[in-house]
Structure 1
Amino acid sequence: MKKIDLIRFFTILFFSILAFCMSTFLSFRIDLTQDKRFSLNTSTIKLLKNIQDPMLFTIYLDGDFPSGFQRLKLESLRLLEEFRAENPNIKYILVNPSENSDSQARRDTYTQLKNSGLSAIQIKVEEQDGVKEQQIFPGAIVSYQDKEWPVSLLMDQFASNPEAQINASIQNLEYSLATSVKGLTDNYRRSIGILHGHDELKPIETASLELSLSKSYDVEHFNLREFPIDTITGEPDLSKQVMQLNSFDLIILAKPKMYFSDLDRWLIDQYLMNDGKCILMLDAIYAEMDSLSYSPDFLAYPIISDLNLEDPLFSYGVRINTRLIQDMVCASLNDRKSILPWVYFPLLLPQTNHPIAKNLNAIKMEFATSIDSVRVPGVKKTPLLFTSPYSRSQPMPGKVSLSTLYNKPTQSKFQEKGLITAILLEDSIPSFYANRIAPKTSYRTPPVKANNAKLLVISDGDFIRNQRNLIRSDIPRGAPLPLGFDQFTQQQFGNSDFIQNAIDYMLNSKGLIYVRGREVTLRLLDSQKIEKNKNLIIGTNLIAPAGVILIFGIIFRILRKKRFVKFSK
């Protein structure tokens, strides 16, 4: 008997020591969730492996906040724990920027955070003496070596309830935090060229986008019509112009107004045929807000044919129509008396799961037109932005009048839906010059079709134009404002995020951007059912635990009594 007890003792001791050693020296994690919400994307893991020095995430979500922000904080901390499991150099701290009792010190902290790139929001917090407004910064500052990167943890979403906004933000957490890691550790910077030479948007009008892109990319302005001079012949050197253009990883053409010669079109075409990436933002209709400064209406008319780009675009697989979009789901216009919605400013709420547009804030366009998709073999087409079910297209030439601002639109007249305003073309885009005579040049003939080209076409030339300050006194008059911000209605739209996501996707379509397309199911309680069955739930939670314990106690007592009765006999 003693021998059996000793064997049992040493067996238990052996397995206890083995379990202790395994838990101490071996580390493994198993994700049993259906949507793998506790597993990091392989692109994120690769980025984390590149961190050689301590990286500090300072999360500004400490404090007594509503439940939604508490959930956002907990999910952020959980994700950072996943990061740290992959690389112990990951560190994080929680900070409450409002904890200082000195009001001047708090204001200084707020100013410092705003200067670092974080945005503040106002929330209402219930306290014993009533409800007060509190300023919070739902974001983080990531520090690595001598660099910093601001991260917004709360996504802007137009017309979304707070719960949906929090849910979308939680789904986007991995992408937001991993993007900061990429920006701080990536030593290779791709180049972006903003084209000029055809009266495009001025640098001051794209300054906000350039500032945002400059954190991750090298951004340059490139004049398509200014050719380098050959030092021997003294003549313009086409081959050098082609080499300079092809040195860009992506080119942007925003709102050209002048005619494209055959050579101009060939330069862009050969760039695409060499698997180039290009974003075209074109106005098919002349319609400018400046025209309303002199008159309550103006004549809008087609100008797309004046650019000489219709034929190349058609051969690639798209046609930009000359019908002006009106949409009942629209942004507002400030006429200095009131702020009223205007049908010529369509608001596009992303309706796709594509990583470029998924979960984005509403996107504002001005005087946009619809886009048709043309069937071209080998070209993958993905519409990214659509109008609402309550839209229509107005034939041009036609009058644009402020009277539509003051007269409520009749829904029965807005029966068109899903008009495309942005479309992405990918893969084997054919050359416009495949069966045509190319401009006379000694440069080698480009391929007749691309293998992995990408072309994003947007039917609003002002899509990336930032407003310039006319109202605020604390910054210089005429200074560029953030892209997508309307100073007259104080609304922030998602134009900047859309373009940055598009650039990230086009330059690295198999990388980190696909984390945005990941679907994480948040299994939340049904608030309506909770309210309906409130008393039943409270009663069950009070009585059920005590009842279960009582039942087990009775069963245990009966079994124990039977056992002792049996032994007594």
Structure 2
Amino acid sequence: MKSENTVPVNKLSGPFNNRRNSLIQLLLGLLIVLLLNVIGSYIFTRLDLTSEKRFTLSPSTKKLLRETDDIIFYRVYLEGDFPAGFKMLSRSTREMLDEFRAVNDNIQYEFVDPYSSTDAKTRKDVFDRLQQQGLQPTDLNVRTRKGQEQQRIFPGIIVSYKGREIPLNLLEEQMGVDPGVMINNSIQALEYNLSNAIRKLSTSNKPKIAFIEGHGELSAMETGDISRALSDYYAVERIKIQGKINALTDRKEGEDGQYRTINKYKAIIIAKPDSIFSEKDKFIIDQYIMKGGKVLWLVDPVSASMDSIQTNDHTLGIT
């Protein structure tokens, strides 16, 4: 006779099996996460899911970072209460530096708030020091509870390497350009500017280049901007050839005891000459080029002087 209290075994075990299966799935999930963390500690990778690949460093930047053999320290003055645009610049700078550090952990940084001190004199001393170091201030109109107030910020970095340091101004300022566009341009230029600072600091033996004089070329004052820009990577000189055979070359003795003629300069720049070159000067430049020298000619396609137009019925042009 069958008992009325008997319950099928599968009905009793159903809830228990469900709980057991859930527990097993949970344990398997935790085990998978643990394994992924262990594997991730040995295999490092980053995925850039942005459409413009803003977090993908160029091969040249990666090569530069891998060759960095000592600590590069970026002291970033973009910490504080800023308008939205500068907050975005600050965040993008931090993200780019993190990308740099992912390639080489010699990259270190610190974000500093110039307004951290409550003492007005201390803040002024900080501002003066930053300007002396080469950071350019930017004045912002900030809305507060009291109304509009002017706030001075220093959107820049002091970069240090092996006892040397240089200023790096992050804001790409252009006359007549909308502030939002300037911020976006500055963000787009972050990789170049941050890596370029490393190039400047790591260049110890600068090759020499020279501006040629003596043929009505632009003066030192007129080429001041380009000279300063080039001086970050080259030792810039100004020379006159004046028919001197050794103006652009030197004779040096090699290991085999033989004397060879080598170029003094990596390149020469001839900026807007307005008079003819003597045959001897042309020969010297030709021999310099034959030995691998480079020449940058800065020549106006049209030479038009208002004085010559007023006094003559014609002028010169290059076609």
Q: TM-score range by the shorter chain?
A: 0.7 to 0.9
Asked if 1:285 is matched to 2:307, the reply is no
**Structure 1 runs not aligned, ≥5 long:** 230-235, 292-297, 306-319, 322-371, 373-569
2:114 to 77, 89, 97: 97
Q: Does 1:59 align with 2:45?
A: no
| TM-score (structure 1 length as normaliser) | 0.46
C-alpha contact (below 8 Å) 1:120/1:137 kept by paired residues: yes
| CA drift at 1:10 | 6.3
Tell me the equivalent position of 1:46: 63
CA distance in 2, matches of 1:79, 1:65: 19
**Which residue of structure 1 lines up, in the alignment, with residue 101 of structure 2?**
84
Q: CA 1:88–1:65 in structure 2 vs 1: closer, same or farther (change >3 Å)?
A: same
State whether structure 2 residue 32 is matched by structure 1 residue 15.
yes
Partner of residue 461, structure 1: none
Q: Structure 1 pair 136/10, CA: closer, same or farther in 2 (3 Å)?
A: closer
- Distance in 2, matches of 1:98 and 1:303, equals 63
- Tell me the residue number matched to 1:116: 133
Overall identity of the aligned pairs, in %: 35
5+ long unaligned stretches in structure 2: 1-12, 252-259
Cα distance in structure 1, aligned partners of 2:284 and 2:245: 14
1:249 and 1:92 map into 2 onto residues whose CA distance is: 35
Amino acid paired to 2:37 = F
Distance 1:205 1:45 in 2: 37
Aligned to 1:441: none
Distance of 1:300 and 1:125 partners within structure 2: 57
SS in structure 2 of the partner of residue 131 of structure 1: strand
Q: 1:238 to 1:93 in 2, by over 3 A?
A: closer
| Deviation per residue, 1:451-486 (Å, 9 max, x gap) | xxxxxxxxxxxxxxxxxxxxxxxxxxxxxxxxxxxx
Q: 1:255 to 1:27 in 2, by over 3 A?
A: same
Counterparts of 1:465-476 in structure 2, within 5 Å, are: none
Q: Residue 427 of structure 1 aligns with which residue?
A: none
Deviation at 1:260, TM superposition (A): 1.2
**In 2, distance between residues paired with 1:120 and 1:222?**
37
- Which residue is 2:310 aligned to? 299
One-letter identity of the residue aligned with 1:91: Q
Q: Which one has a bigger Cα radius of gyration?
A: 2
For the pair 1:220 / 2:231, whether they are aligned, the reply is no
Letter in 2 for 1:137: F
Q: Label 1:188 to 1:239 Cα distance change in 2 as closer, same or farther (>3 A).
A: closer
Report the Cα distance in structure 1 between the residues aligned to 2:248 and 2:149, rounded to whole angstroms: 67
Q: Which amino acid aligns with 2:203?
A: D
Q: Distance in 1 between matches of 2:305 and 2:312?
A: 5
User: Using a 3 Å threshold, how does the CA distance of structure 1 residues 171 and 227 change in structure 2: closer, same or farther?
Assistant: same
Distance of 1:221 and 1:201 partners within structure 2: 11
The counterpart of 2:123, out of the listed 106, 124, 129, is 106
Shift of 1:145: 1.4
Q: How many angstroms apart in 2 are the aligned matches of 1:43 and 1:144? A: 19
The within-5 A match list for 1:26-425 is 26-225=43-242, 227=244, 243=261, 246-272=263-289, 276-282=293-299, 284-287=303-306, 299=310, 320-321=317-318
Residue 54 of structure 1, CA deviation: 1.7
**Structure 1 residues 125 and 238: CA distance shift in structure 2, 3 A:** closer
**Whole-Å Cα distance in 2 between the matches of residues 303 and 204 of structure 1?**
30
Could you say if the C-alpha distance between residues 103 and 9 of structure 1 is closer, same or farther in structure 2, counting changes exceeding 3 Å?
A: closer
- Counterpart amino acid of 2:39? M
Instruction: Report the 3-state secondary structure (helix = DSSP H, G, I; strand = E; otherwise coil) of the residue aligned with 1:299.
Output: helix
Q: CA RMSD in A?
A: 3.4
Deviation at 1:225, TM superposition (A): 1.4
Post-superposition shift, 1:24? Answer: 3.1
DSSP-derived class of the 2:310 partner: strand
Letter in 2 for 1:286: S
Shift in Å at residue 99 of structure 1?
Answer: 3.4
Which letter does structure 2 place at the counterpart of 1:156? E
- SS of residue in 2 equivalent to 1:156: coil
The structure-2 alpha-carbon separation of the partners of 1:12 and 1:194, relative to structure 1 and needing over 3 Å to count, comes to same
The amino acid that maps onto 1:41 is S
Q: How many residues align?
A: 292
Q: Distance in 2 between matches of 1:142 and 1:26?
A: 30
CA contact (8 A) 1:286 1:300 kept: no
